[in-house]
Structure 1
Amino acid sequence: MIACIFILTSGSSGGGSDLGSSIGYLFIIPPLSFLLWYRPIYNGYMKEQALYYYLYFFFGGWHLLFSLYMIIGIPSTGSAGLVQTIRMFIQGHLAAAIIGTFAAVGWIVQGAGNAFFYRQIWAHRKAAGHTSIRRRPN
């Protein structure tokens, strides 16, 4: 959001929509992240039920795609990713470009961490033998 404020003050044509979208993300992402991927994986590990793992994989996968979208940084989408940062460097708005670089690097670190944990949880689920079919004891 701070990077989008700098993009707005640099005179970018889509700066207002960037700032508005980033404020929306600030209020939407935390509760959705808790409900849609943090809570399911907690329940998955705690109860060892495959359904919770699949909920995490579905919504966590969408979050991975969203992270990639934010890393790219398409103008007027609320992202200060790579495209926005390169535009600010080219236009000579160094303050917005430097803050945008921090935002892009932050999204890259967050996306890489999310991908790492996604892979770790996938391996745990596979090693535990979880399937979508519930087996009854003989």
Structure 2
Amino acid sequence: MSEFDSNPFAEPVTDNPFNDPSVTQVTNSSVEPVDQYNPFPPHSTEGLATRTTTASTSPYQPAVLQPSTEPTPQAAAAQAQANLLRQQEELERKAAELDRREQELQSRGVTGKENNWPPLPKFFPLKPCFYQDFSEEIPPEYQRVCKMMYYLWMFHCMTLFLNLLACLAGFISNSSYGVDFGLSILWLILFTPCSFLCWYRPIYKAFKTDSSFSFFFFFFVFFCQVVIFIIQSVGIPHWGNSGWIAAVTIVVNHKAVGIIMIIVAILFTICAVLSVILLKMVHSMYRRTGASFQKAQQEFSQGVFTNKTFQTAAAGAASSAAQGTFQGNN
């Protein structure tokens, strides 16, 4: 009956070799074959950074034997002595440097620059006393007038020297001119430095710093200098000046000496004329600078009260007055 129950149109049943249980077990297994095995599976590495473990630190350190470095008393004394010698050498070096700087500061003026006037040779025992540089310290609009004042001072010094020679010639020709010769020496020694300090340096400082006080001081002194130039050009007898009167008086008897005195009188006259012209030029510049008498008073008061000599004298006077009052009360 079983043969009749089968379908005659169905495919014939054949034995499938892949239906073997051993083969199906291998093919259906989840284990990867050897040739497809990956030893680095694609696992997530996000949590690896947070899973680091810190190295355990032990509170106990291995004992290390170190040799003793404590110096002996002799070595310590030698080291201390060496340190003292080194410090002494350093102090001596610094003291020498301070002495050198002090000498440099003494050779420099108030401006901190090395003095260059008068231009003396290096072997000369005296050193320059002032610093002077027209192109550096004087504004361009004042340089011409300031240089003319400087040339006037040099011309005046030359005239005083020639006046001494003229008076010497007069004294040789006539012994009555001995007083003039002596006074001419005095005028040369006195007026040469005083004219430089009293009217040339003030006008130099006035042009340099626009100082009202320096302008007023220059006007006062230079006006007196103009009067002296006029007196010298006139040549009053026995005043030590080879002016016009003295030259005309002596030219009658001694023509050579009279000619020398006439030349000196001409030079004194030129000094007087140039001084008047320069005085007017400086006054016109002074009016354009805005200087005034009130500014001059302020500068004078500030300069006096800030002067160390004045402060020392005032402190000494106050101390003496206080001591006298205390002693009087006792």
Same-fold status (TM-score > 0.5): yes
Deviations 1:67-112 (A, max 9, x none): 011011011111000000010123x210111000110001011111
Q: What is residue 122 of structure 1 aligned with on the other side?
A: 283
Q: Which runs of 4+ in 1 moved over 4 A?
A: none
TM-score, structure 2 as length reference: 0.39
Could you tell me how far 1:125 is from its partner in structure 2? 0.3
Give the alignment partner of residue 41 of structure 1, picking from 203, 209, 216. Answer: 203
Q: Does 1:7 align with 2:170?
A: yes
Residue 12 of structure 1 and its aligned partner are, at CA, apart by: 5.4
The higher relative CO (CA closer than 8 Å, separation ≥ 6) is in: 1
| Counterpart residue number, 2:293 | 132
Structure 1 pair 6–28 and aligned structure 2 pair: CA distance change class (3 A): same
1:127: Cα distance to partner?
A: 1.6
Rg larger in structure: 2
Query: Following the alignment from structure 1 to structure 2, what is the Cα–Cα distance between the partners of residues 34 and 6?
Result: 28
Normalised to the residue count of structure 1, the TM-score between the two structures is 0.92
CA RMSD, Structure 1 to Structure 2 (Å): 1.3
- Aligned equivalents of 1:134, 1:75: Cα separation in 2: 43
Is the 1:81–1:103 Cα contact (8 Å) retained in structure 2? yes
Which residue of 2 is the match for residue 108 of structure 1?
A: 269
Aligned partner of 1:99 in structure 2 is: 260
Structure 2 unaligned regions, length at least 5? 1-163, 297-330
CA deviation digits over 1:34-73, x for unaligned, max 9? 1100110001001101110111001101100000110110
Q: Provide the aligned length of Structure 1 versus Structure 2.
A: 133
Any conservation in 2 of the 1:40–1:52 contact (CA below 8 Å)? yes
Contact (CA 8 Å) 2:237, 2:246: kept in 1 or not? yes
Give unmatched runs, 5+ long, in structure 1.
Answer: none
Instruction: Tell whether the 8 Å contact from 1:6 to 1:95 is kept in structure 2 after alignment.
Output: no
Q: CA deviation at 1:115?
A: 1.2
SS in 2 for 1:133: helix
What percentage of residue pairs aligned between the two structures are identical?
26
